[in-house]
Amino acid sequence: MIFRRLLLLLTLLPLLSAAQTDKLWLDFKTLEEPFVFSFSSKNATFEALKKELYWDIPNFYTAKKPEKASFLVVDNSQNSAISGDGFAINADEKNVKIEAKTSAGALYGVYEYLRLYSCGQKVIKDYVSNPAYQIRILNHWDNPDGSVERGYAGKSIWFDGEKVKFREDIETYARANASIGINATVIDNVNADPKILSTEMLQGVKTIAEKLRPYNIKVYLAVNFSSPAALGGLKTSDPLDKDVIDWWTKKCKEIYTLIPDFGGFLVKANSEGLPGPMDFGRTHADGANMLAKALKPYGGIVMWRAFVYNPQGGDRAKQAYDEFMPLDGKFDDNVIIQIKNGPIDFQPREPFSPLFGAMKNTQIMAELQITQEYLGYSDHLCFLSTMWKEFLDYPTFHNGKTVKETTLNQKLTAFSAVANTGTMKNWCGYVMAQSNWYAFGRLAWNPDLTSQQIANEWINLTLTTDKEAVKKIENIMLRSREAVVDYMTPLGLHHLMGWSDHWGPEPWCDIPGAREDWMPRYYHKAAADGLGFDRSSKGSNAVEQYQEPLKSMYDNPKLCPKEFVLWFHHLPWDYTFDNGNTLWDELLYHYTKGVKEVEDFQKIWAGLKGTVKEPVFNEVTEKLKVQLDEAQWWRDGCVQYFQTFSKMDIPFKPKYTLEECKAKLRTKAYVERQKD
């Protein structure tokens, strides 16, 4: 028996040491010391954490085991510094103690120890870590037919052909999430299909919940507000109708009978044509509270999205605030309002949504986007931790609090992001895109981590432990998001992408008869007199939704941060900045700088040959070629289109003409790309 186990270890060691990008960041370094393990509990979660320690096989051929355990994991700690699913670690090279107050905390502690150990830290003293947010949740935009809305890594990992048919290695998904503290998942699209609540589908969801439960991951469902009528056959879905209330009450009982630890519902209502309570003359609070009451006996919650906009005219950036602020304080205590980080829609850069800090009597949570819908899909290297840190640390000036603090100072706390997973072997379509899934989980657990810390961890766990290579890759990652902003939407420009598929530049798009606020021209307002959307007090007055001194700062183009100036102001082409550049000069500078950054990334990466596994090196090399071409496309398309209004010179020779830029959106490669 011992010989067979030793032979197995020797056979698999080469695989364990390789960069297994299909295994994400789970290639932890094998423990060197022949520890003797002791575990305080026997349950599915402890079995999961034992699997992570399995490769400590030298224990099986130690001549004489010490009487006292040298690797102790407990979930009954009395350590007062530990709260919730937190943990404490004390370790040296011969003894390790991981203590927690819950089995989940013990699991998280094991993963943290393996992360620190794999990154070269063997001595860990008085290390305590508690989760910042109670609910750390991925939102999957997967549809029952197997497609994924805004997904760039293949088909759904949960569904196929209107049935639950999850990816075979779903345990890797569970392990990956648990290893970074993610404890919840919404498995279906916010543009929800009512059939997700059918008894047949719920049986499948039960199986998913069983697979994820040992890793402390609760399942949630996005639900369609019209389900009582569409699925239940009722004449209405009015949230105040007795039969509708009864239908949801019975449906919740059915769900919890199958899945006792079911988390609750995510709801997108009265937005982009989806049904909601306003269809019946009711409010968002009426709809959310009705569902909350049906869930409350079981401990479930409602995450109600604030992403709303309808064809009612006015500035789309103001609509969420205008609809939800009058309802502040009217939501039940198991309702939390899910707010996108910016007022528009996951743009490369946006100011924070003014609802953060303003809603003082309502529980709120942030919604981020891991999948790169507006950031080059899974083809552009864009490390999003820097974007999210910028958002979390921004001061709202509501009682001096940052955005982060406004979401943590409440009874129920949650942090969410739209996932980027699919059936492609490496899960995310691009090894570098895995870093954003990793970064989200780490920030959900501890939003005070720096982007440099997160990048350093991920590189060491996934790509290489070569110190010089780590520094160079870290440098690329930390610069990458700003580069994308520069070559796509500098100076506060936004929504310039292809209006339907959100890929490539299309600032010229203006389809007759289409909704105005879906068109890029609605947002950039390019004309002979200048560029930018006037949200100042002289324009749409969106600045009014921000607290002083932000209101006055954003209202004045001389005081407004340059990165937001065209978000809040329509400026003439010859407007002069403090550095002496005109608006046109500054625009050209940023578009050119973004392209040059990608060229530099290519040079740095080329010098890393031999320090990362060859397949990974080749993949990133090819992706950077694509990114450079598309950065040039963005620069050339936007600059030449804006030149038709500015009539000013372009001091460089574009790679593509304006007509070629327009045609590129209609190429065969583009059409094929949308099928992937």
Active-site residue list: 272, 345, 373
User: Could you tell me whether strands 264-267 and 218-223 are parallel, antiparallel, or unpaired per DSSP bridges?
Assistant: parallel
Helix, strand, or coil (residue 654): coil
Query: Cα(297)–Cα(194) distance, rounded to whole angstroms?
Result: 23
Cβ contact 372:627 at 8 Å: no
> What residues contact 185, with CB distance under 8 A and at least 6 apart?
137, 138, 140, 177, 212, 217, 218, 219, 220, 419
CA distances from 26 to 10, 87, 460 (A): 19, 20, 11
CA distances from 387 to 302, 369, 480, 554, 624 (A): 27, 11, 10, 20, 20
DSSP labels, 606-639: HTTBTTB-HHHHHHHHHHHHHHHHHHHHHHHHHH
CA distances from 197 to 84, 142, 673 (A): 31, 15, 32
CA distances from 172 to 399, 426, 427, 562 (A): 43, 11, 10, 43
For 538, how many CA atoms within 13 A lie in the half-sphere containing its CB?
Answer: 9
Residue 479 backbone class (left: φ over 0; alpha: ψ -120 to 50; beta: rest): alpha
The DSSP element (H or E) to which 163 belongs, if any, is strand 163-164
The DSSP element (H or E) to which 223 belongs, if any, is strand 218-223
Query: Cα(190)–Cα(303) distance, rounded to whole angstroms?
Result: 11
Query: Cα(158)–Cα(370) distance, rounded to whole angstroms?
Result: 18
Which residues does residue 368 pair with via DSSP β-bridges, in sequence order?
417
Sign of the CA dihedral 307, 290, 193, 430?
positive
Q: Which residue has the tokens 């809040």?
A: 568
Query: Cα(33)–Cα(26) distance, rounded to whole angstroms?
Result: 20
> Tokens at residue 537, please?
């007090």
Amino acid (1-letter code) at residue 97: K
Q: Dmax of the chain from CA atoms? A: 85
Query: Cα(408)–Cα(132) distance, rounded to whole angstroms?
Result: 7
> What residues contact 347, with CB distance under 8 A and at least 6 apart?
374, 489, 494, 495
Which residues does residue 338 pair with via DSSP β-bridges, in sequence order?
305, 365
> Tokens at residue 284, please?
């968002």
Helix, strand, or coil (residue 35): coil
DSSP labels, 314-374: S-GGGHHHHHHGGGTT-S-TTEEEEEESSSSSS-SS-PPPTHHHH--SS-EEEEEE-S-TT
Query: Cα(661)–Cα(110) distance, rounded to whole angstroms?
Result: 51
Using alpha carbons, select from 378, 283, 301, 384 the residue that is nearest to residue 341: 384
Helix, strand, or coil (residue 288): helix
Using alpha carbons, select from 269, 280, 286 the residue that is nearest to residue 225: 269
